[in-house]
Amino acid sequence: MTRTQYILLAAGGSAALLLGAFAFQHLGGLAPCKLCLWQRWPHAAAIVIGVAALAFGARFLAVLGGLAALATAGIGIYHTGVEHKWWQGPTSCSGGGNDLGALSGGDLLNFDSAVNVVMCDEVVWSLAGLSMASWNAIVALVLAGMWFAAARAKV
């Protein structure tokens, strides 16, 4: 495969994952937790990097795309561990959600507007026993491989 083909697959994969996340949120009604949102940013970066890499053909941009994919894979692995209670997640969205310090005084006094905290340590959707965070990590590792293959490939 050529560098361009690898970049199209890798950036397109990030775009597909990001669109899927938005579909689960807006069409499926599954609100994202804090860690879910963190996993989206590297995909957005990979898409932008992909456009730049296609425009300029610079090999180092493919390496940056790979690093973005590794970043979201790392967050996905961390999130999977939080879901399985292998380690503690952010106190504002896991472990019972008792971090009242994350709420403002107005939130605590205004009982008419509910504060909805989506818990990071609860699996809200799974396929074949793997949560969305786990699937994101697996697919992102494949995408990272594509990015690094693009860096090695000929134009």
Q: What is the mean pLDDT of each run of 10 residues along the chain (155 residues)?
A: 95 97 93 94 97 92 97 97 92 68 56 67 87 95 97 88
SS3 155: coil
3-state secondary structure 63-128: HHHHHHHHHHHHHHHHHHHHHCCCCCCCCCCCCCCCCHHHCCHHHHHCCCCCCCCCCCCCCCCEEC
With beta carbons less than 8 A apart as the criterion, state whether 99 and 115 touch.
no
- For residue 104, the model assigns a pLDDT of 60
Dist. CA 106–CA 90, nearest whole Å: 22
What's the confidence (pLDDT) of residue 57?
Answer: 83
Which CATH superfamily includes the segment(s) 3-91+102-152?
A: DsbB-like (1.20.1550.10)
Q: Quote the longest CA-to-CA distance of the chain.
A: 61
Name the residue ranges covered by the structural domains of the chain.
3-91+102-152
Rounded to whole angstroms, how far apart are CA atoms 135 and 24? 14
Asked whether the beta carbons of 68 and 15 are under 8 A apart, the reply is: no
pLDDT of 34: 93
